A and B are shown apart, each in its own frame.
Chain A
Amino acid sequence: MPEALATPYSARRDRPVAGYLRAIAAIVRKDLAAELRSRELLGAMLVFSLLLILIFNFALELDARTRQTVTAGVLWSTFAFAGTLGLNRSMALEVDRGCLDGLLLAPVDRSALFFGKALGNLVFMLLVAAIILPAYSALYNVNLFLPGLMGVVLLGSIGYVVVGTLLSSMAVQARTRDILLPLLLFPVVLPVVIAAVKATSGLLQAAPPEEIQGWINLLIAYDVIFTAVAFMTFDYIVEE
């Protein structure tokens, strides 16, 4: 990468890494600040999640007995569906008012834009989880506050968000944007859902650690692989 042109003016001339990280932080901060103000997104995701749990309650008859086996599935289905709301909205914000151009004009590597958006999406998802998990715990008297479980939620969310941010940056530019994202996302993110559900379920039912470890390894592998893939392909999505 050729060295940046010097301006006779006041732009900082520190190391590229600092600029890279600063850009990521700026984007996350911007997304959080905007969301804090409008609260549209978090509100929508939360209400949607609670509605889903309600529907599952009646659809699956979450009585005391079946609850143990079905909790993990209900939780992750909820995250998966509510997640698409967040992903779409986050990208739509940039693309709709042409703000994506503003981001592309910045003298930073494109991947910084990707990681900024992905990190922002991750924060939102974790925020939603932070509210849904206690809510579910209370509603169904199931203890979800196991440390391992937090880890699984984190790993699963990372995988979901990495692929989701990548695919939503494409889906949002299509005419059929709202229905397209789930269609593109779900087949690809299935391993995350499977692994997260099995790991969560395992933790809740105190399954043997080797079993749970296997699923966690799968999650980690998925996260690593797709972060790399996203890093390599994001450029092609945004560069004209």
Chain B
Amino acid sequence: MIEVRKLVKTFGRKPVLRGLDFSVPEGDFVAVVGPNGAGKTTLLRILASLARPTLGEVRLAGRRLPAEAGAVRRILGVVSHQPLLYGDLTAEENLRFYGRLYSVSELEARVERVLEMVGLRPRRRDLVRTFSRGMQQRLSIGRAILHEPLVLLLDEPHTGLDPEAAVMLDRLLGQVAGEGRTVVMTSHDLQRAASLANRVDVLAGGVMAASVRKGELDPEQLPALYRSVTGA
């Protein structure tokens, strides 16, 4: 589903990604971990078609980015640090807005379904401004799956969430991933990443330094592996 080959991204003269290879088969849930500034967000933004690669090849569902970005956007759902929601609108207004942008059919029914799924139906008429961070993140996921994308990209979605909200998010992620979607999630929480995903890739030095499938390695040994690979 996702094929990245020799991806290079430089900002001005600073190289962040240096010839990265990355591949995600359809339906897989991959977590990308790495130290701050490693380029996790950069990688995600490129996959999301929000940034262009400097060099290298990126394919989503067989289509090349950035050339065919327009076609790819329809099947992409993105959750970033920021919730991408309008504070002065209600939860349902936000969803309706995005639904219209994506030309989602049977919008009202779909909005209902999504609100139900993210557990925000009782707060549907409340302004997003009044939501806690956890609720905003859940609504953000709702926004991302509204148009039923095939690929879901999440950039450190647990940032700023208290443990309870994080658990709720995990449950939601499990549900969403279970629908056959391809999911890529960046995180700096190694343990959480390992429990949610079926594969954990470590981004360090601008390339994928390690890749571990679920079950291959004892979860206890992950931190050690991480440290050895990132030189922490």
Contact = CB atoms under 8 A, between A and B. Distances in A.
Interface stretch (B44-52, B163-171, B187-195): B44-52
A23 B100 contact: yes
Contacts of A22: 100-101, 103
B152 to A, nearest CB: 12
A239 interface: yes
A240 B11 CA distance: 11
Nearest to A34: B88
B187 to A, nearest CB: 19
Given A4-B71, A5-B75, A105-B49, A23 B101 contact: yes
A12 B68 contact: no
Nearest to B104: A11
A7 B71 contact: no
A10 interface: yes
Contact of B63 (A5, A98, A101): A5
A2 B70 CA distance: 8
B102 A98 contact: no
Interface string A25-52: 1110110011101100000000000000
Interface in B47-93: 48-52, 61, 63, 68, 70-76, 78, 80-89, 93
A96 to B, nearest CB: 9
Given A97-B84, A98-B82, A105 B48 contact: yes
Interface string B125-148: 001000000000000000100011
A1 B70 contact: yes
Given A7-B74, A30-B86, A105-B48, 7 more contacts: A5-B72, A10-B105, A26-B97, A30-B93, A34-B86, A101-B82, A103-B101
Nearest to A94: B86
B88 A5 contact: no
A240 B101 contact: no
Interface of A: 1-5, 7, 9-12, 14, 18-19, 22-23, 25-27, 29-30, 33-35, 37-38, 93, 97-99, 101-109, 239-240
Contacts of B216: none
- Among B48, B100, B106, find the residue whose CB has the most chain A CB atoms closer than 10 A: B100
A4 B103 CA distance: 12
A180 B16 CA distance: 31
A240 B52 contact: yes
B80 A98 contact: yes
B9 to A, nearest CB: 10
Given A5-B61, A37-B88, A107-B74, A12 B93 contact: no
A14 B98 contact: no
14 contacts: A1-B70, A2-B70, A12-B103, A12-B105, A18-B103, A22-B103, A38-B88, A97-B84, A98-B80, A99-B82, A106-B98, A106-B102, A107-B71, A107-B73
Contact of A240 (B51, B75, B149): B51
